[in-house]
Amino acid sequence: MDCTETQRRLHPYLDQELDRPSALAIDQHLASCPRCKGVFATQSALRSGIRRHADYHHGAPRELAQRIRARLGTEPKRRWQWPQIGHWLPMGAAAAAAAVISWTAAIQYASRPSDEMLAEQVIAGHARAMVTSHLMEVASSDQHTVKPWLSSKLDFSPPVPDLASAGFPLAGGRLDYVDKRPVATLVYRARQHVIDLFVWPEAKPGDARTQALSKQGYNVVWWKQGGMNYWAISDVNAADLRTFSEAYANAR
Amino acid sequence: MAKIHVLARAPQSRRKEADPLVSDEPSRAKRFERIFLPHLDAAYDFARWLARDDRNAEDICQEACLRAFKSLDSFQGESGRAWLLAIVRNTYYTWFTRNKPDAAAVPFDEETMIAAGEDGVDLESPLGSIDRILQERDARRRVNGALEQLSQEFREVIVLRELEDLSYKEIAEIAKVPIGTVMSRLARARKLLLQHLRHTEES
C-alpha cells in the first residue's frame, strides 16, 4: 500500500469501516511511513477533540419528554394517584407493608422541592457563609483531608477532585443544610472568587443535564450525576462557572 | 377508596378521547415509548446541531416524535435511534425550507464543495498546533465554533459520526446519500474543521 492509497482510505480506516485485510495493510504502511502517520495522528487528535469538547449529550429538556408523552397519552401515572389498595388486599400483610413503603416514597417524591426552591436554599447557604466568614470547617487544599472529614460527618461520600490544573484549586469544605438534609459543601477558588459546590445524594438514581440560572448577582449551575445532586454557586461569570462544573464532572 | 381511584383516572381517559393521535391503541403508544423515547436525548441533540437553537430544536424534536408515532407501523425493528434521527432530519429540512427559504433555495453542489480548497490545508503540518489548540481552555468554544461554521451537509455527517457514533451505512440512510458520499463529506468536513481551528489559532 502506498501513500496515495493510504490517504485515500484514511477516513474509513479512522472510522473502522475497512475490512480487516485493508486495515492491516494500512497499519503496516503507517508503521513505516512517518508522513502518513503524521496525517493520521492529526485526524485522530481532531476526532478526540470533537468528541471531548463539542456540545453534546446535554440531553433533552425534561419538559420535552413530558410534552411528547402528553400528546401521545403515554405519560406515567400521576404522582398523587391513590395506591391500589383494593388490589393489594388479598395479598396479606407483606403486601400491605410494601404499600406503606411505596406510599411514603411517593409522598417524598411528590414533595420534592422545585429547582427554584433549591436554588434559593443554595444561594442562602452560600451568602450566609460569605457574610459570616464561616466559609470552611475544614480548610485544606488536600482532597485526602477534605474528603474523609466530610465522609465522617455525612451518610455519603462526595467526590472531591482537586481541580487546580483547571484553574480551580480546592480550598476546603463545610456542612450545610439543603433539601431538608445535611449536605457537603466543597469550596473551590477561581482567581479571587469562591465557588461553593453543594453535593447530596438523591433517592432516585440517574443523571440530569446541566442547568443554570442567575439570581441576586450569583450564578448557579446544577446537574445530577450518578444519583448525586450537584449545585455550584458563585459570583464568577456564568461561563467560568460552567467551565468549573464541566471540570468537576469530568474529574469526579 | 376505590371511588377516589376512579376519580383520579377520569381526566386521563377524557383527554385520550379528545386527542385524535391517541385513538384506541394504548399499546401502540407503549411501543413507541419503548422504542423511541430512549433516543430522545440523541434526537434533541441532533436537532440542536442542525437548527443551532435550543427553542427550535425542541419544536423540531417534538414534531419529529409525533411524525415517528404516526408512521410507527412502517418501523421494521432496525435501529430505533437511526430511524428517529432520520425523521428528525426530515423534520428539520421541512422547517428550514419554510423558515429560511432564501438559504434553502441555494442547492448544495457536491462536487464543487468537496473539491473546493482541496489545496490550502496542509494535513501533514503541525500536529503539535492542533493538539495544543485542543488542550487550551477555550477548546470547547473553538470546537463548537468550527462545527457551527460548517454547511449543514457537512455538519450533519460529522455530528452523526463523531457524536452519535453511527456507521457509514446508518449515516447514509439518515442523510439519504450513498456511502461513498458519506465518506467524501466526512473527509471534507474534517479538513474544513482543521482549517478553521488553525485559522482561529493564527488570528
Question: What confidence tens digit (pLDDT) does each residue in A79-100 have?
Answer: 444 444 444 445 555 555 555 5
Are the CB atoms for A212 and A236 separated by under 8 Å?
no
pLDDT one digit per residue (tens) for chain A, 252 residues: 789 999 889 999 999 899 988 999 999 999 999 999 999 999 999 988 898 888 865 667 878 888 888 887 755 544 444 444 444 445 555 555 555 555 555 544 445 678 888 999 999 899 888 877 778 888 888 888 888 888 878 888 888 998 988 899 999 999 998 988 899 999 999 887 899 999 998 877 778 888 999 888 889 999 998 889 999 999 888 888 999 999 999 887
Shortest Cα–Cα distance, A7 to chain B (Å): 10
Please report residues of A whose CB lies closer than 8 A to that of B1.
82, 85-86
Q: Which of residues 11-40 of B touch A (CB under 8 A)?
A: 12, 15-16, 19, 21-22, 26, 29-30, 32-33, 37, 40
Q: Where are the beta strands (DSSP E) in chain A?
A: 138-139, 170-178, 181-190, 193-201, 208-215, 218-225, 228-234
DSSP state of A125: H
Cα dihedral A71, B85, A46, B108, rounded to 10, equals -120
C-alpha distances (whole Å) from A109 to each of A83, A113, A250 are 14, 9, 29
Question: Residue B125, Cβ neighbours under 10 Å: how many?
Answer: 14
Q: Which residues of B touch A46 (CB under 8 A)?
A: 130, 134, 190, 193-194, 197
Q: What is the DSSP string of chain B?
A: -HHHHHHHHHHHHHHHHH-TTTTT-HHHHHHHHHHHGGGHHHHHHHHHHHH--HHHHHHHHHHHHHHHHHTGGG--SS-HHHHHHHHHHHHHHHHHHHH-HHHHHS---HHHHHHTTSSS--TTS-HHHHHHHHHSTTHHHHHHHHHHTS-HHHHHHHIIIIIS---HHHHHHHHTS-HHHHHHHHHHHHHHHHHHHHHHHH-
Whether A105 contacts chain B with CB within 8 A: no
Residue A125 burial class via C-beta count within 10 angstroms: exposed 0-12, middle 13-18, buried 19 and up:
buried
Condensed to tens digits (0 to 9), the pLDDT of residues B67-80 reads 998 888 888 877 88
Residue ranges per structural domain of chain A: 3-52, 63-108, 113-251
**Shortest Cα–Cα distance, B34 to chain A (Å):** 10
Residue A79: predicted pLDDT: 45
Maximum distance among all alpha carbons in chain B? Answer: 77
A148-157, A225-234, B16-25, B177-186: lowest mean pLDDT where?
B16-25
Name the residue of chain A whose CA is nearest to B21's CA: A72
Percent of residues in chain A assigned helix, strand, coil, to nearest 5: 50, 20, 30
Sheet strands (E) in A36-163: 138-139
Residue A143 grid coordinates:
482532597
Residue B157 · residue B171 · CB < 8 Å: yes
Q: What is the rounded CA–CA span in Å between residue B48 and residue B43? A: 8
User: B99 is written with which cell numbers?
Assistant: 423558515
Mean pLDDT of chain B: 79
CATH among 1.10.1040.50, 3.20.20.80, 3.40.50.300, 3.30.200.100 for A113-251: 3.30.200.100
Q: Establish if A57 touches chain B: CB-CB under 8 angstroms.
A: yes
Look up residue B200 and give its amino acid.
Answer: T
Q: Does A167 touch chain B (CB under 8 A)?
A: yes
B78-94 per-position pLDDT tens digit: 788 899 999 999 999 99
Q: For the CA atoms of chain B, what is the radius of gyration?
A: 21
Inter-residue contact A238 to A219 (CB < 8 Å)? yes
Please name the amino acid found at residue B87.
I
Question: Does the pTM of the predicted model rise above 0.95?
Answer: no
A69 interfacial to chain B (CB closer than 8 Å): yes
B45 vs A46, A57, A243: nearest CB: A57
Mutate to test the interface with A, among B40, B133, B165, B196 (most CBs of A within 10 A): B40
Chain B CB within 8 Å of residue A38 CB: yes
Partner residue opposite B44 with nearest CB, options A64, A82, A86: A64
Residues 139..178 of B with a Cβ closer than 8 Å to A: which? 139-140, 142-144, 147, 158-159, 161-163, 167-168
Short-list B134, B153, B156, B107, CA closest to B200? B134
Q: Which domains does chain B have, with CATH numbers?
A: 25-104 (1.10.1740.10), 108-202 (1.10.10.10)
Q: Does A99 touch chain B (CB under 8 A)?
A: no
Closest CB to A11: pick one of B58, B167, B186: B186
Residue B195, chain A, CB below 8 Å: the answer is: no
Q: What pLDDT is attached to residue A95?
A: 55
